C-alpha cells in the first residue's frame, strides 16, 4: 500500500491566520483527496485534487477558504485560510492506488484555532 | 449519490464476546464498500473492502464483513473482541463523481470493549 506523510501532525493557530498542510505520497497518484473531520463527526470530503488542474470542491467548500495546490503526482497542499474556531478539526489527505488496499489515508493534521 | 448509514453511535461489548458493527447502504448499481478503523490520535486504517465475489470478506486484525444484497447491509464482525479493538469504526462507499471516485463515509460507530 501507499505510504503518506502528512505534516504538521497538529497545530494551534490564532484566528484570522492560515495553516498550510502538506501531503507527500511515496507513489505517483492521479488523484488526491482532502477530508475534514470535525470533532466527534465523520469525514467529509473537501475537494479532489488532480495534478495539473484546479481542484474540484464539494458543496459547502470554496477555493478562497481552502486553496489547494497539486504541483506534481506525489505532493499536495491544503491551506485553511482566515481561520475561525469553527475550523478546528482533523484534516486528512487520501489516495487510491487501486492496489487492493483501499484508499490510504495520511495520519491527519489536528488543527485547533484559538 | 451513494450513501451508507451506521445506525449505532456506540457499541459496548465484553472482551471475548462477538462484536458486530452495523452498516447499511444505498447505491445505484453495484456497491464498492469499505470498513476503516480510527484509533485515538491516529489516521484511518483500512480493514477490508467488498467489490465483488464472495459475500464474506476477510480483513485485517481478525475482522470480517458480510455483504447482504437483499438487506443492503455490510456488517463488520469479529468472533472474539479484544480490549485493543476499542476505536471508532467507519463504513464507506465509493461514490462516482465527475472529479473522481471519492469515498462517502457513514457517521461512525464507537466501539468500547470492556475487560
Which element (helix H / strand E) includes B9?
none
Radius of gyration of chain A (CA): 13
- DSSP secondary structure letters along A5-26: EEE-SEEEE-TT--EEEEEEES
In this prediction, residue A78 carries a pLDDT of: 98
Cα–Cα distance for residue pair A91/A109, rounded to 1 Å: 5
What pLDDT, on the 0 to 100 scale, is given for residue A101?
61
Rounded to an integer, the average pLDDT of A35-48 is: 93
Compute the mean pLDDT over every residue in chain A, rounded to the nearest whole number: 92
Please tell me the distance in Å from A36's CA to the nearest CA on chain B. 12
Of the candidate ranges A4-13, A26-35, B39-48, B66-75, the one whose mean pLDDT is the lowest: B39-48
Provide the 3-class DSSP secondary structure of residue A44: strand
Shortest Cα distance from A50 to chain B (angstroms)?
8
From the list A6, A31, A43, the residue facing B100 with the nearest CB is A31
Amino acid at each position: 500500500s501507499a505510504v503518506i506523510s502528512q505534516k504538521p501532525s497538529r497545530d494551534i493557530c490564532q484566528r484570522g491566520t492560515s495553516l498550510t498542510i502538506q501531503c507527500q505520497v511515496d507513489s505517483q497518484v492521479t488523484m488526491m483527496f482532502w477530508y475534514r473531520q470535525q470533532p466527534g463527526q465523520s469525514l467529509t470530503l473537501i475537494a479532489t485534487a488532480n495534478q495539473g488542474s484546479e481542484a474540484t470542491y464539494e458543496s459547502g467548500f470554496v477555493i478562497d477558504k481552502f486553496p489547494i495546490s497539486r504541483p506534481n503526482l506525489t505532493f499536495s497542499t491544503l491551506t485553511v485560510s482566515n481561520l475561525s474556531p469553527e475550523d478546528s478539526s482533523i484534516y486528512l489527505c487520501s489516495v487510491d492506488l487501486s492496489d487492493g488496499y483501499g484508499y490510504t489515508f495520511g495520519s491527519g493534521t489536528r488543527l485547533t484555532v484559538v | 449519490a451513494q450513501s451508507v448509514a451506521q445506525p449505532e453511535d456506540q457499541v459496548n461489548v465484553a472482551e471475548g464476546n462477538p462484536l458486530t458493527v452495523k452498516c447499511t447502504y444505498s447505491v445505484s448499481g453495484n456497491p464498492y464498500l469499505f470498513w476503516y478503523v480510527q484509533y485515538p490520535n491516529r489516521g484511518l486504517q483500512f480493514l477490508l473492502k467488498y467489490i465483488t465475489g464472495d459475500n464474506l470478506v476477510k480483513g485485517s486484525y481478525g475482522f470480517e464483513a458480510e455483504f447482504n444484497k437483499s438487506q443492503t447491509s455490510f456488517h463488520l464482525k469479529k468472533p472474539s473482541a479484544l480490549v485493543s479493538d476499542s476505536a471508532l469504526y467507519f463504513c464507506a462507499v465509493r461514490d462516482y463523481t465527475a472529479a473522481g471516485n471519492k469515498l462517502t463515509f457513514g457517521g461512525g460507530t464507537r466501539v468500547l470493549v470492556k475487560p
